[in-house]
Homo-oligomer: A and B are copies of this chain.
Amino acid sequence: MNDGRTPGGQTLLFLTDEQLRKGIEAMFFAYRGFTADPDRILDEKGYGRAHHRAIHFISRSPGTTVNNLLSILGVTKQSLNRVLRTLVEDGLVESRVGTRDKRERHLFLTDVGEALERELSDAQRERMRVAYREAGPEAVQGFRAVLEAMMDPELRRLFNRLKDAGHE
């Protein structure tokens, strides 16, 4: 494949429609792989991807509010509420009224919720780890760079804020 370098060393991209289409299809098929393992686990327990997403981001930012979660997930509150309600009823998520602002609900995973989060994320991380290992370290950096450049600016800011919240 063309590596995009001219003889003079200048970096150019010769991107044919064909190459771009391959990238698009790669995203499509890879995303299927990406969700396959968690989907299997969720299905056994009667949950769906919506539950996984909620669990993931609550685990990521314990104590986050409903509104916060809404802006991350990009769904309506009615849609999120349905998911949260079942998770609270099933004892996977705890919803605590805010201390400063009593209108807010702060969301936490219970021990049971943590356990499911770990099961889901173990599976997904393992898939990621294997893919990274096969592709190699430089590939991983490229992967991350392209994905970040593909995000909508607003989501990209959100993503990087999450990134800083962790301690990379």
- Which of A's residues lie within 8 Å of B, judged by CB? 1, 3-5, 11-13, 15-34, 36, 53, 56, 60, 74, 121, 124-125, 127-152, 155-156, 158-159, 162-163, 166-168
Contact = CB atoms under 8 A, between A and B. Distances in A.
Main secondary structure of the interface of A (DSSP, over half): helix
B146 A131 contact: yes
**Oligomeric state, in copies:** 2
Residue from A21, A29, A129, A162 whose CB has the most chain B CB atoms within 10 Å: A29
Contacts of A127: 150
Contact of A168 (B22, B146, B166): B22
A148 to B, nearest CB: 6
B29 A53 contact: no
